[in-house]
Structure 1
Amino acid sequence: MSLKKALLAATVLSLPVAAQAQPITGLYIGAGAGANYRVENDNNLPAGPRQLAANAGLQQNGKVETNWGYVGVGSIGWGFGNGIRAEIEGNYRNNSVDTVTLSGRQAFSAGGTIHQYGVMANALYDFNQFNLAGFVPYVGVGAGYVWTDFRNVRGASAFPGRTGSIRIDDRDGRFAYQGIAGVAYNLSSVAPGLAVTAEYRFLGTLENKLDGRGTLTGAGGGTGPIRAEGESYNHSILLGLRYAFNAPRPAPVVAVAPAAAPAPARTYLVFFDWDRADLTDRARQIIAEAAQNAQRVGSTRIEVSGHADRTGTAQYNQRLSVRRAEAVAAELGRRGIARNQITVQGFGFDRPLVPTAQGVREPQNRRVEIVLR
């Protein structure tokens, strides 16, 4: 049996389910872009100078409705290795004005753009335990500060005997909050740590106060300052990329001895439950097979090496790996192998079969390797 075949067979026999996705540990960056829908909402918006509009019996409310626009975000964050992440995000949204309604009348001319940009602090959680075919869902919340910038937002509506019009070129910053729901797909085959993301975001701000100019024609008309007041709500859908700098690299390929070698190594893997050094029934079967093969091929040296996963301290796992190796060596002795033929050593979690972040339980790393020489 070659080393490659032994590793594959032992893995299949000892693992009933696939390993969980590895959580982000350390620094990461991300960026995304997509579509933004700005919710139409009633504004405290007069159809001209406020007092003149009130004298004319016009309402003091209106609407500014926008088309679908676009959104872009960039972030830098830190993963704590347990699914929790914290990040700082910069964002930008742009929507063109579609219609303006003044005092219940839709404007016969409307235009302009609404820009929003700001900085948010986000807290997120990755559900690595729900990894589905490489897809990992996540949720998050954020708080920060966002500026709403009306650029040449304008409209004019006709009323009996007069016309009301407005124009706003102003910017106002307010406290902002958001909710995030998304899913990431691991692209480690392209580059370790790389993932593509798809997410939905809701972003809201407290009430903005934006100044402009209004004109009311006809009897008692005139021009004067106006103020538009209203909250801002956005629904965004984004696609993006995320890169974690400290993602585990793939395990190195194990070189197999050439077929012409006179004494090829024969390797067996014995797996253990978490934080245990006692042998399972399956482990005893594998050790018995190794002992029988050692006697059949006339092995003169048997290397027994213990290993542990990356939960717990290095000192504890070093002792645990030696205890596991000693348990296997004792069972080999009961199977007829002389003690002076066996070399026992422990490596703790320094030589993982599957690289993981600290604190991750990985069944394939809780093992003892038996090598027949």
Structure 2
Amino acid sequence: MKRTLLASAAFAIATATGGDASAQAVQGLYVGAGAGITWLSQTNASVFPPDSANLSTPSDHFQRKWEVGFAGVLSVGYGLGFGLRGELEGFYRTSEAASGLAFNRGATSGTANTYGLMANILYDIPLGGLAPAVIPYIGAGLGYAWTDWSDVGGRAGTAGIDLDGSDGTWAFQGILGLAVPIASVPGLAVTAEYRYFGTFDNPEISGRVSDAATGAGRGVNVPVATSSHSALLGVRYNYGRSAAPVAAAAVAPAPARTFLVFFDWNRADLTARARQIIGEAAQARSRQQVTRIEVNGHTDTSGSARYNQGLSERRAAAVAAELVRLGVPRGEIVTRGFGQSQLLVATPDNVREPQNRRVEIVLR
């Protein structure tokens, strides 16, 4: 179990650099906490030294089983990139004794506590279209743990054993987890984890074997099991995260707006009504986004085409000058004369049509 979990975690981490950096779930500093239940392996061990020392114990074998216990972790870490992150963790696990054996006889008592510090490295696994709704991760850790047994013991006849002590040793763990980001709180995620924990050596808990009838006794050391399975629910907060920017809806360009300024026959000067319409065009330009103002001059068909071309240009220039006087930058204005080539009302040649004697102001 130890070799399989560590090898799987190591393989995932070793190949992590092949992932897509954009799929990384955690970036920068984060903190986490979790709590849940743990199953501590039972201890089956020989009492050392084995000499019964004239005690009435029928065996030097000790066994202890444990109830489902409590596990809690606190961690602080940093997202390193490409889905990788490293963290430091403090943990605590506790279990109460269940029915078991002491000297091959029934006994129930005691508490087993394990606490320590671990350094973990984890990899957030990208899931393509599912991310960031759910993000699985895998990891492994190394550290140091202290095992503390309190009032663990049992009796067989007049003989009894009492274990009450602690010992520390190097530890390891494998982690399989699932994070569900909370969209309404950027950086916050709910986590669910399975952890396998163990130590490289079995710690030895000191105690005493004694005979109530004779008063004889001796000190003993019992190597105890530390491997455990834990299921945890928790929260994790990644600092500095913000909601993904919402793409602004593309603003449709405002439709071009046209104002018509009419002229008397064979004239290019502005009437009072013409100045009023040009003023309305200048005001409209200030109320909407305008990048260009087209001022297009036109004539009717009376007169020669050459003369009408010049007249249309003079009319456009008069309107442009009035726009500038009203505060419109000259650089926004483009003037053109079309003569009699673009009639508003179709007429034969040499017809005086008032609708054709015009300047069109087009706001774009």
TM over 0.5: yes
Give 1:175 shift.
0.7
| Structure 1 unpaired stretches of 5+ | 1-19, 266-298, 302-340, 342-372
**How well do the aligned residues superpose, as a CA RMSD in angstroms?**
3.2
Which residue, out of 196, 204, 229, partners 1:202? 196
Cross-structure match for 2:234:
240
For 1:128, which of 126, 129, 149 is the aligned residue? 126
Tell me what 2:115 maps to. 117
Q: Distance in 2 between matches of 1:215 and 1:178?
A: 37
Structure number with larger C-alpha Rg:
2
- The equivalences for 1:1-373 within 5 A come to 21-45=23-47, 50-52=50-52, 58-107=58-107, 110-130=108-128, 132=130, 134-158=133-157, 163-189=158-184, 191-205=185-199, 206-217=201-212, 222-251=216-245, 254=248, 263=254
Moved over 4 A (4+): 53-57
Q: How far does the alpha carbon of each residue in 1:298-334 deviate from its partner, in whole angstroms, 9 at most, with x for none?
A: x957xxxxxxxxxxxxxxxxxxxxxxxxxxxxxxxxx
In the alignment, the residues of structure 1 paired with residue 180 and residue 46 of structure 2 have an alpha-carbon distance, to the nearest angstrom, of 44
Q: Distance in 2 between matches of 1:40 and 1:26?
A: 40
SS in 1 for 2:127: helix
- Tell me the secondary structure at the aligned position of residue 76 of structure 1: strand
Q: Structure 1 residues 72, 264: closer, same or farther in 2, change over 3 A?
A: farther
Equivalent residues of 2:144, 2:171 under 8 A apart: yes
Shift of 1:55: 7.4
Give the conservation status (yes or no) of the 8 Å contact 2:180–2:190: yes
Supply the distance in 2 between the matched residues of 1:264 and 1:165 (Cα, whole angstroms): 97
AA aligned to 1:45 is V
Alpha-carbon distance change, 130 to 170 in structure 1, aligned in 2, over 3 angstroms: farther
CA distance in 2, matches of 1:165, 1:217: 8
- Separation in 2, partners of 1:222, 1:64: 24
Paired amino acid for 1:59? S
- Shifted more, 142-151 versus 206-215: the winner is 206-215
Aligned identity (percent) is 39
Q: Answer yes or no: is the 8 Å Cα contact 1:52–1:216 preserved in 2.
A: no
Question: Gapped runs of 5+ residues in structure 2?
Answer: 1-21, 257-289, 293-331, 333-363
Q: Distance in 2 between matches of 1:145 and 1:22?
A: 29
> 1:345 matched to which residue of 2?
none
Give the letter aligned to residue 38 of structure 2: N
Q: How many residues align?
A: 241
Give me the whole-angstrom Cα distance separating, in 2, the residues matched to 1:94 and 1:30: 20
1:211 and 1:142, CA in 2 relative to 1: closer, same or farther beyond 3 A? same
Q: CA 1:98/1:264 → structure 2, altered by over 3 Å: closer, same or farther?
A: farther
Distance 1:65 1:246 in 2: 46
Displacement of 1:105: 2.2
Q: Per the alignment, do residues 27 and 225 of structure 1 end up closer, same or farther by CA in structure 2, a change over 3 Å counting?
A: same
> 3-state DSSP class of the match of 2:225?
strand
- Counterpart residue identity of residue 32, structure 1: G
Shift of 1:145: 0.5
Q: CA deviation at 1:186?
A: 1.0
Give the TM-score taking structure 1 as reference length: 0.58
- TM-superposed CA distance for 1:255, in Å, is 7.8
TM-score by length of 2: 0.59
Determine which structure has greater relative contact order: mean sequence separation of CA pairs < 8 Å that are 6+ residues apart, divided by chain length: 1
Residue 99 of structure 2 aligns to a residue in which SS? strand
CA distance in structure 2 between the aligned counterparts of 1:184 and 1:166, rounded to whole angstroms: 45
